[in-house]
Structure 1
């Protein structure tokens, strides 16, 4: 005799209660996407429209911009939001196209390592950038450096 289960019987166990990380990942993607639109268009406007436009972007332009803590934090926030947004998107793709197991864990671990390394290096570049390094020949320094 064959028994057919009731159609209302769940195929899998009910989801566990507590923190729902997928929900928070989904919310982060929406919030960071909106913030990134503002940050990226602000970045593009300042770099391309204000002043002399794209022909003025050089080492001195970046050095002068990053001399202001406001622009340092603007660029770091854009870096962090974009990298975490992209890594979370890639994590979603890994979840969609791989089965749970060793391969999925390795791919997610590689994503995590890559994101952390890029976040640390990018943040260090922005906050430790010195356009006027001590001991450099004056002819190699930008015009705004005291020794130039």
Structure 2
């Protein structure tokens, strides 16, 4: 994938504008301009903020429309990051966006793919390479075309009985 013409902040701002979450979870070691601009434009958005590491108890039991991970994985080991992203993806949000510095963290692109994330963009500046990876449970696996009444042994029972 070639380098994006957008900056990472522009890509995150576009993602936030497209999704317009009413409940947003942000995992970051620092603030960033795209989040500030989004919160100024949508002040009613419920924002959950946490730093790198385990989610605080008050956030761990909540659901969010979107989880955004920026400047976080660079501060964790690969295993800690996998546990964090897997937990957030499975328990806290069906949509996840991760911006990671691939040289400053132990992560490789295949580590994101292993967690079912897709690469959306690559940002290259000097010696730094950032990757933007996303996950959306609604787009993760489409129902196969054979899974319908036409291929069912008893079409009149399709979707009625589970055994």
Q: RCO greater where, 1 or 2, for CA within 8 Å and sep 6 or more? A: 1
Greater share of residues in helix? 1
TM-score by length of structure 2 reads 0.29
Q: From the CA coordinates, give the structure whose radius of gyration is larger.
A: 1
Greater share of residues in strand? 2
